[in-house]
Amino acid sequence: MPTRAASFEELRGAFRWRIPARYNIGVDVCDRQPPDAVALIADDGAGGVVRHTFGEIRRLSNRLANTLAAQGVGRGDRVAILLAQSLETAVAHVAAYKLGAIALPLFTLFGEDALLYRLEDSGARALITDHANLAKIEPLRDRLPALSTVLAVGGGPGALDFHDRLGRASDQFVPVDTAADDPALIIYTSGTTGNPKGALHAHRVLLGHLPGVELPHEFFPQEGDLFWTPADWAWIGGLIDVLLPAWHHGVPVLAHRARKFDPGEAMALMARHTVRNVFMPPTALKLMRQAGIGRRPDVALRSIGSGGETLGEELLSWGRDTFGLTINEFYGQTECNLVIGNCAGLMPVRPGAMGRAIPGHEVAVIDASGAPLPPGQSGEIAVRRGDPVMFLEYWNRPEATAAKFQGDWLATGDTGRVDEDGYFWFEGRADDVITSAGYRIGPAEIEDCLMKHPAVAMAAAVGVPDRLRTELVKAFIVPRPGFVPSDRLAAEIQAFVKARLAAHEYPRLVEFVDELPMTPTGKIRRRDLRDRAQLDRDIHSG
**Predicted local distance difference test score (pLDDT) of residue 192:** 45
Q: How far apart are CA 524 and CA 458, in angstroms?
A: 10
Which residues make beta-bridge pairs with 478?
A: 458
**Predicted local distance difference test score (pLDDT) of residue 142:** 95
Domains of the chain and CATH, by start: 22-361 (3.40.50.12780), 432-541 (3.30.300.30)
Q: Is 237 helix (H, G, I), strand (E, B) or coil?
A: helix
Phi/psi for 48 (5° steps) reads: -90, 125
Per-residue pLDDT of the chain (542 residues; tens, 9 = 90+): 566 788 899 999 999 999 999 999 999 999 999 999 999 999 998 889 999 999 999 999 999 999 999 999 999 999 999 999 999 999 999 999 999 999 999 988 888 888 998 999 999 999 999 999 999 999 999 999 999 999 999 999 999 999 999 999 999 999 999 999 999 999 998 644 457 899 999 999 999 999 999 999 999 999 999 999 999 999 999 999 999 999 999 999 999 978 788 999 999 999 999 999 999 988 889 889 989 999 999 999 999 999 877 788 889 999 999 999 999 999 999 999 999 999 999 999 999 899 999 999 999 999 999 999 999 999 999 999 999 999 999 999 999 999 999 999 999 989 999 999 999 998 877 777 787 765 667 787 788 889 989 999 999 999 988 776 778 999 999 999 999 999 999 999 999 988 877 677 899 999 999 999 987 767 788 888 988 887 776 665 55
Q: How far apart are CA 210 and CA 197, in angstroms?
A: 24
E strand or H helix at 373: none
**Predicted local distance difference test score (pLDDT) of residue 437:** 63
ω into 221 cis (within 30 of 0): yes
Letter string b/e over residues 124-141, b meaning 16 or more CB atoms within 10 A of that residue's CB: bbbbbbbeebbebbeebe
Q: How far apart are CA 10 and CA 420, in angstroms?
A: 17
Nearest residue to 244 (alpha-carbon basis) of 204, 284, 299:
204
Burial class (CB in 10 A: 0-12, 13-18, 19+), 243: buried
Q: What is the pTM of this model?
A: 0.84
**Predicted local distance difference test score (pLDDT) of residue 161:** 97
**Predicted local distance difference test score (pLDDT) of residue 216:** 97
State how beta strands 409-418 and 379-384 pair.
antiparallel
Contact present, 110 and 235 (Cβ < 8 Å): no
Nearest residue to 188 (alpha-carbon basis) of 413, 396, 449:
396
